[in-house]
Amino acid sequence: MKPGNDTQIPEFLLLGLSEAPELQPLIFGLFLSMYLITVFGNLLITLAVSSDSHLHPPMYIFLANLSSVDICFTSTTNPKMLQNIQTQSKVITYDDCITEIYFFLLFAGMDDFLLAVMAYDRFVAICHPLHHTVIMNPCFCGLLVLVSWMMSALHSLLESLMVLWLSFCRQVEISHFFCEINQVVRFACSDTFLNDRVMYFATVLLGGSPLAGIIYSYSKILSSIVGISSAHGKYKAFSTCASHLSVVSLFYCTILGVYLSSAAPQSSHSGAVASVMYTVVTPMLNPFIYSLRNRDIKRALKRIVGIPVT
- Edge-to-edge strands, sheet with 11-14: 91-93, 11-14, 173-174
Q: Is residue 308 part of a domain?
A: no
Q: Is residue 168 part of a domain?
A: yes
Residue with the bigger pLDDT between 307 and 38: it is 38
Q: Would 176 be classed as within a structural domain?
A: yes
pTM of the model: 0.91
The backbone torsions φ and ψ at residue 172, rounded to the nearest 5 degrees and listed phi first, read -100, 115
pLDDT for residue 226 is more than 50: yes
Q: Is 241:294 a contact under the CB 8 Å cutoff?
A: no
Q: Are 178 and 279 in contact (CB under 8 A)?
A: yes
Residue 1 resides in a domain: no
User: Would you say 282 and 252 are in contact if contact means Cβ atoms under 8 Å apart?
Assistant: no
Closest residue by Cα to residue 176 from 108, 109, 104: 104
State the pLDDT confidence band at 2, using cuts at 50, 70 and 90: very low
Indicate the Cα dihedral angle 36, 67, 73, 256, nearest 10°: -110
Give the whole-angstrom CA distance, residue 84 versus residue 78: 10
Q: Is residue 157 part of a domain?
A: yes
- Specify the DSSP class assigned to residue 309: P
* Count of domains forming the chain: 1
Residue 274 CB neighbour total at 10 angstroms: 21
Q: Where are the beta strands (DSSP E) in 35-177?
A: 91-93, 173-174
Residue 2, in any domain of the structure = no
- Contact (CB, 8 A) for 180 and 174: yes
Q: Which helix or strand (DSSP H or E) is residue 161 part of?
A: helix 138-164
Mean pLDDT of 69-91: 94
pLDDT, tens digit (0-9, with 9 covering 90-100), for 105-160: 999 999 999 999 999 999 999 999 999 999 999 999 999 999 999 999 999 999 99
User: 227 lies in a domain?
Assistant: yes
CATH number at residue 83: 1.20.1070.10
For 33-59, give the DSSP string. HHHHHHHHHHHHHHHHHHH-GGG-SHH
Residue 5 lies in a domain: no
Q: Containing domain of residue 204, as a range?
A: 11-301
